[in-house]
Structure 1
Amino acid sequence: MLLLSEDQTRHALPFPALIDALEEIFRSGCVMPTRHHHDMEMSGEPDATMLLMPAWVPGEYAGVKVVNVMPGNSARGLPAVAAQYLLSSAKTGEMLALIDGGELTARRTAAASALAAKYLAREDAGHLLIVGTGRLAPNLVAAHMAVRPIKQVTIWGRSKEKAADLARHVGATYPVSVTVAGHLEDVLGKADIISAATLSNEPLIKGALVKPGAHVDLVGAFKPSMRESDDDLVQRADLYVDTRDGCLVEGGDVVQPLQAGVIRAEDVKADLYDLCRGTHPGRQSDDAVTFFKSVGAALEDLAGAMLAYKTASK
């Protein structure tokens, strides 16, 4: 059985190829049972979450990801997400690969955001605002650069030290101009793409401050109790999601305004299935504000695992 470390998984999943792989699996589909979602009580810190995410392409590949999300790890200097992915043959049942789930998750999540931006962000989007400084942040920069001509990156985080460290890393790695924002409200109206990846329970992205034509990418807030955007944004923007089944149940940025009667389920214009299959054209005008909410889906992990296995086996 192939064993892929974090570094090996990263090298096996270049963003252009990974974005293409996600687009193909959203277009062709696979079997994806409802994922198991379990809260794990923690003493003296926020509750943790265990996720079990199976999916398979009949007769080809099957896989399952086991994820532990530990918000308290930030105080320990550890990543918030720990995960592994087991890929098998869906024809023989043979175990084919054990893939680093944290790196797979980070890269497929960023790639899904970039896939959405391919359909929803303006073609000339050049200024990217990253909200959050965790593991996803540098991946979101690289992924969006694969689909849009990003020349300027602004970074905001609650920790100024972490934001500065991330800015140095991005500036040393990519051919972009990088700045650190002192106050989020000062930069929300300047960015062409706003990509938020936080564990916030309170809205950070204020719709009244977002400029016309901007694309807002909401990656965090994966539980109904969490939220990164306010009601002004969901009322103003054209709403899109990665999967309707997931976001209408789990994504707080959609669930909370739904429960409050601010929006209706029919206000969600399309998901990635619709966009990738051409049943919805995506962005409707240069001035539209587009809103994309993702909570992740097992077919994204399966697509990434299949790509990593095939790449590493060459």
Structure 2
Amino acid sequence: MTLPHLDAAAIARLLGPADAADAVEAALRDGLDPETGPPRTGVPVPAGELLLMPATTKDFAGVKIAGVAPGNPARGLPRITGSYLLLDGATLQPVALLDGPALTSLRTPAVSAVAIRHLAVPDASHLVLFGAGPQAYGHLAAALAVRPLTRLTVVARRPEPAQALVAHARRLGLDAVSGGPDAVAEADLVICCTTARTPLFDGGSIAGHTTVVAVGSHEPTARETDTALVTRATVVVEARSAALREAGDILVPIAEGAYRPEDLAGTLADLVEGRLRPEAGRPRFFKGTGMAWQDLAVAAEIFRASKAT
């Protein structure tokens, strides 16, 4: 039997951002424990880094093989490469091969959308978006799916990609402009999906009702947000184990002595199950590093949708 290949076009056709977020929530409501998931394995290679991310449930198993090639954009190629192999949970027989970058571009925003659903104020209208790559487009779509956005400020290093994203947002009906980091002071929602290794903005300028989402790094020494934000905010992570292993946004403030692991307010599962509610008047901060169970939850839902068509 030929293994079905679900390419980027098929993934986009079969599952939208809201449905992907529902799949992530459903996995948590069904009792999946992110704390027990195997860590990603990173292997240095000449072109960059090779990441292996396995996960399993009773119905499915899967593994994402992703390449991170920093030199690719200069060649006109994607920075993130790879594939996802989905297996039957009972027999471990392969059932589908999915485009890895397309899955990641859907999965990561879906996880952020779950956090935004539970953390952002219901009438959040102004999004400040750091980054202008594939994750920025995916996060814009995901945020639009869960909040009534009307304004967008794009903050990016290069003007051409920023203007392209602004034009895309205007076609969606948003009042969109390119701006600078100071725009966060007027934001209801801030999303960071960049390759930055140092903070992108002053966390002290974030308003008390604002939600910040940072997903650009899974390295313990790299961060998109500063210590001021972390110490002010209600901080939510995918899993404590993953955050304390990989999240530089959390680990750097801990290393500075300004934050403690026990200061973490909770996890996505706590939000979904209603065990955690954001504190009024205090910024909300979700830090995501990306976990293998999320890929599996979304890949399985894509596969189910493919079988239903």
Normalising by the smaller structure, the TM-score range is: over 0.9
Q: In the TM superposition, what is the alpha-carbon distance from 1:116 to its structure 2 partner? A: 0.2
Q: In the TM superposition, what is the alpha-carbon distance from 1:74 to its structure 2 partner? A: 2.5
Q: Structure 1 residue 275 and structure 2 residue 298: aligned?
A: no
Matched with 1:52 is 52
Q: Structure 1 residue 34 and structure 2 residue 38: aligned?
A: yes
Q: Partner of 2:297: helix, strand, or coil?
A: helix
Q: Which moved more, 1:204-213 or 1:119-128?
A: 204-213
1:15 to 14, 17, 20: 17
Q: Partner of 1:10: helix, strand, or coil?
A: helix
User: CA offsets per residue over residues 64-90 of structure 1, 9 Å max, x none?
Assistant: 111111222222222211121111111
In 1, Cα distance between equivalents of 2:275 and 2:161? 41
Matched with 1:253 is 249
Q: Partner of 1:146: helix, strand, or coil?
A: helix
User: CA offsets per residue over residues 186-220 of structure 1, 9 Å max, x none?
Assistant: x1101100000011111113111212211000011
Q: Tell whether the 8 Å contact from 1:106 to 1:136 is kept in structure 2 after alignment.
A: yes
Q: Partner of 1:198: helix, strand, or coil?
A: coil
Matched with 1:299 is 293
Q: In the TM superposition, what is the alpha-carbon distance from 1:39 to its structure 2 partner? A: 4.2
Unaligned runs of 5+ in 1: none
Q: Residue type of the partner of 1:5? A: D
Matched with 2:173 is 175
Q: Tell whether the 8 Å contact from 2:38 to 2:55 is kept in structure 1 after alignment.
A: no
- Where does structure 1 differ by over 6 angstroms across 4 or more consecutive aligned residues? none
Matched with 2:208 is 212
Q: In the TM superposition, what is the alpha-carbon distance from 1:114 to its structure 2 partner? A: 0.9
Unaligned runs of 5+ in 2: none
The within-5 A match list for 1:148-297 is 148-172=147-171, 174-181=172-179, 183-185=180-182, 187-280=183-276, 282-285=277-280, 287-297=281-291
Q: In the TM superposition, what is the alpha-carbon distance from 1:41 to its structure 2 partner? A: 4.8
Q: Tell whether the 8 Å contact from 2:116 to 2:211 is kept in structure 1 after alignment.
A: yes
Q: Tell whether the 8 Å contact from 1:35 to 1:51 is kept in structure 2 after alignment.
A: no
Q: Partner of 1:124: helix, strand, or coil?
A: coil
Q: Tell whether the 8 Å contact from 1:37 to 1:49 is kept in structure 2 after alignment.
A: no
Q: In the TM superposition, what is the alpha-carbon distance from 1:135 to its structure 2 partner? A: 0.9
Q: Partner of 1:97: helix, strand, or coil?
A: strand
Matched with 2:139 is 140
Q: In the TM superposition, what is the alpha-carbon distance from 1:170 to its structure 2 partner? A: 2.2
Q: Partner of 2:11: helix, strand, or coil?
A: helix
Q: Which moved more, 1:202-211 or 1:32-41?
A: 32-41
Q: Percent identity?
A: 34
| Cα 1:41/1:61, change in 2 over 3 Å | closer
Q: Residue type of the partner of 2:181? A: L
Q: Which moved more, 1:109-118 or 1:68-77?
A: 68-77
CA RMSD of aligned residues (A): 1.5
User: CA offsets per residue over residues 162-193 of structure 1, 9 Å max, x none?
Assistant: 10011112222x22211111x222x1101100
2:304 to 306, 310, 313: 310
Q: Structure 1 residue 4 and structure 2 residue 6: aligned?
A: yes
**TM-score with structure 2 length normalisation?**
0.94
Q: In the TM superposition, what is the alpha-carbon distance from 1:251 to its structure 2 partner? A: 1.1
The within-5 A match list for 1:73-84 is 73-84=72-83
Count of residues in correspondence between the two structures: 304
The within-5 A match list for 1:66-145 is 66-145=65-144
Q: Tell whether the 8 Å contact from 1:251 to 1:295 is kept in structure 2 after alignment.
A: yes
Q: In the TM superposition, what is the alpha-carbon distance from 1:33 to its structure 2 partner? A: 3.9
Q: Tell whether the 8 Å contact from 2:40 to 2:291 is kept in structure 1 after alignment.
A: no
In 1, Cα distance between equivalents of 2:146 and 2:38? 30
**TM-score with structure 1 length normalisation?**
0.93
In 2, Cα distance between equivalents of 1:159 and 1:211? 27
In 2, Cα distance between equivalents of 1:132 and 1:257? 23
In 2, Cα distance between equivalents of 1:18 and 1:41? 31
Q: Partner of 2:242: helix, strand, or coil?
A: helix
Q: Partner of 1:249: helix, strand, or coil?
A: helix
User: CA offsets per residue over residues 249-292 of structure 1, 9 Å max, x none?
Assistant: 10110111112211001111011111112222x2221x220111
